[in-house]
Amino acid sequence: MAETTQRVKLFRFLQTQAGVSRRKALDLVLAGEVSLDGAPARDPFALIEPGTTRRLSLRGHPLSLEPRESHIYRLYKPLGMLCSNDDPFSGNTVGRLLRAEGFLGYSWVGRLDQDAEGLLVLSNDGDVIQALSHPRYEVRKEYRVWLAESPSQGAVEQALRDMTRGIEDEGETLRILDGRVEGRPRYAVVVLAEGRKHEVKRLFAHFGYTVDRLLRVAVGPVELGDLAPGTFERLPCAEEGSLIEGARRLLAETGATPDRDVLADDLSA
């Protein structure tokens, strides 16, 4: 068991040991996926006493009770890979890749469609996952977008200006924070802070354009850099430490640590 003189709430300990967000840790306990010393544990706020718990399991798999260091990696998700732990119809998933590379207890920030590629941020620290994932923090994500059509630069720039004002699609208002045209051949750069389903494709489809290639190049302060598809890279220590400290501070400042009276808010996000 981790050396500590304080009792730890079950969901909080699970968050740390399994590298999942607060919301995910709460969901897992409430769903009966977690057991303590062989018995199902359904109260996420149960206090774990130092030295008394001998076994902690998630979906039947034991989790370490030893303290663990927090780490952050960047991964270039290649085309064709599913952002899923497992899939009954495909073995090409991010979860399988992580397990094969020994990334046990790690989770990733956000999702990318199977036909999209680019940056996923990996961490075994639930605070980092929470701070970069939860919509309330409006983390900026930057994409490069290549279109199947060949519109003029002016037409794309006008569409991007319209996107910053917002468009209506399927009962939702979709909006980008920033947009510009770069490169040769040209591509659009768009910055979002929400992440609705298929949002980038829907934005361009509104103007009659088809996204031919979609590449995510940044999530918050983390950039894809020169990573090759399918490869990992740990963040430099200073950058990693700054991001972990920033996540802790952000969650503390916003009162994000769940208690019984805010459980519903966390689960409905």
CA-based nearest residue to 123, from 6, 242, 20, 246:
20
Amino acid 187: pLDDT? 98
Contact 148, 207 (CB under 8 A): no
Please give the chain's pLDDT, 269 residues, in tens.
334 446 788 888 887 777 676 778 899 999 999 998 889 999 999 988 757 777 888 888 888 777 678 999 999 999 999 998 777 777 899 988 988 888 877 889 978 999 999 999 999 888 899 899 888 899 999 999 999 999 999 999 999 999 999 999 999 999 999 999 999 899 999 999 987 889 999 999 999 999 999 999 999 999 999 999 999 999 999 999 999 999 999 988 987 654 433 333 332 22
pTM of the model: 0.78
Active site residues: 113
Amino acid 7: pLDDT? 77
The string of pLDDT tens digits covering residues 163-205 is 999 999 999 999 999 999 999 899 999 999 987 889 999 999 9
Amino acid 263: pLDDT? 36
Which domains occur in the chain, in start order?
1-68 (3.10.290.10), 72-136+222-245 (3.30.70.580), 140-219 (3.30.2350.10)
Amino acid 68: pLDDT? 75
Q: In Å, what is the CA distance from 173 to each residue of 168, 178, 206, 207, 242?
A: 5, 16, 12, 15, 34
Q: Which residues pair with 108 in a beta bridge?
A: 122
